[in-house]
Amino acid sequence: MKTRIYRANSMSEAVAALRQDLGVDAVILETRTARRSGIWGWFGATVVEVHAAAAAEVRAVREQSSPATSTSVPAPVPGALPLVETVRSRPQQSAESPRLAWTPQDESAPDREATRRMAQSMLARLESNPALESSTPTEPKPGPNQVQAARGELDELREMVGQVLKRQELDLPSGTVPTGLPDGMVDWYVELISNEVSEELATNVIHAVCHQLGGRIDDRDRVRECVIQQLSEYIPISKSPLPDAPQQGPLVIALVGPTGVGKTTTTAKIAATCRFHRGERVALVTCDTYRVAAVAQLKTYAEILGMPITVVEQPSQMGEALAALQDMDVVIIDTPGRSQRDEGRLDELKQFLSIAQPHQTHLVLSGTAGEKVLIREAEAFLPLGVDRIVLTKLDEAVSFGMLVDVLHRIGRELSFMTTGQEVPADIEPASGDRLAMMVLDGLVRGGTLRSERG
């Protein structure tokens, strides 16, 4: 049986060559890796060596042996002179070509990772013991193209090893970092993940940045700018958090949300923004008669800001209260906090809103809550007609990455962000870039987030 040996830069090239010579049913007898010497010991290439034979010859040898006692592939016939071919630039077969029959075991694809590890080990041995290389038969010096290919292979190996070391350094499980990321983008991916951005969203952002920059990732400032831009694309932002008042009657805004998220303080901040930054006549309405001192707190804010306040205890009183405020530009309704599990209280709140018919309903969520809690709260309050989101207590938040995922999943526009307790300073119109910067930088300005107007 005539055995042929094929050497190529990759398994796919070797397989394509032997299938072209021996047919698509050729039998692979042995595979291994070998190192070809380079220029004075440098830039040596690692090649794949495949021993193969025509299927007809293998069958003939099998027929001569006993089928009952042997199922393995016979070794090449002693004395047969193998034909050695070195494959350098054979065209690869198309994906539609039939699969090659592998013997003695069937494998769907060569283990490239194992081959690389073997090549790295062999390279280390050669570098540590030059005598090993001297035993390699002398071959012609490679040309510029071969040197360039060898350098590319080394760069690819260096990138792969760098990613493995990065995963080990950060104690990330294998497979956490998506394959195919340039080495310079792994750090950015890991930074997003460590700030609680979901793996899916982080992968989408990093791939979008790579596509946008086209491989030009050496400028870290430019990469950072693109990461912020791509991350902000997943944050729905309200272009007009406070629209102008309608031609007839005031602009009516309602704030709803669970207990303890800062609705009353946020009501005062938005009222102060309308009063001092927009010069509008503002009135406050509160339905929060359940919480101790809630009415007193809002009355204190109204007195300081010079605004009228009306207390509504029953849904039936809402219409009369709004009718008395028709000369105002803006009316802001502070509603009582409700648990997302209390369906009865949520139905009562819905009655207040159905009579008030607000132009905007803002759901107030705390940036300190967990992702699952925020999602459940949103699911409970969205049926009330919520069309805006306000994020509060960002100065107390530990991380901001999961907030991007939550906002993306909720699908309502972010109108305001609050960053402290001061009225009216610690509130700002929502900005996707601003929140994306918080994801990367965390707390700023000495550990406290402040409004740009503050």
Q: How confident is the model at residue 33 (pLDDT cuts 50, 70, 90)?
A: confident
Residue that wins the pLDDT comparison between 210 and 40: 210
In a domain, 127, yes or no: yes
Residues 398 and 269 in one domain: yes
In a domain, 203, yes or no: yes
Domain span at residue 409 reads 251-441
Residues 42 and 175 in one domain: no
In a domain, 146, yes or no: no
Residues 96 and 128 in one domain: yes
Residues 276 and 227 in one domain: no
Please give the structure tokens belonging to residue 337.
Answer: 């906090």
Question: H helices of 69-129, where?
Answer: 112-128
Residues 429 and 311 in one domain: yes
Last residue of a domain, one of 115, 134, 153: 134
Residues 17 and 105 in one domain: yes
Q: Which residue has the tokens 């952002």?
A: 205
Residues 260 and 399 in one domain: yes
Residues 47 and 176 in one domain: no
Whether residue 197 contacts residue 404, with contact meaning beta carbons closer than 8 Å, is answered with yes
| 124 contact partners, CB below 8 Å, separation of at least 6 | none
Residue 70: pLDDT above 90?
Answer: no
Total domains in the chain come to 3
Residues 130 and 176 in one domain: no
pLDDT tens across 292-332, in order? 677 888 999 999 999 999 999 999 999 999 999 999 999 99
Q: According to the model, what pLDDT value does residue 80 have? A: 39
Strand bridging mode 4-8 / 45-53 = antiparallel
pTM: 0.61
Residues 82 and 225 in one domain: no
Residue that wins the pLDDT comparison between 2 and 191: 191
What is the C-alpha separation between 336 and 348, in angstroms, rounded?
10
Last residue of a domain, one of 181, 201, 232: 232
Last residue of a domain, one of 77, 108, 134: 134
In a domain, 446, yes or no: no
Residues 107 and 200 in one domain: no
pLDDT tens across 344-392, in order? 889 989 999 999 999 999 999 999 999 999 999 999 999 999 999 999 9
Residues 9 and 111 in one domain: yes
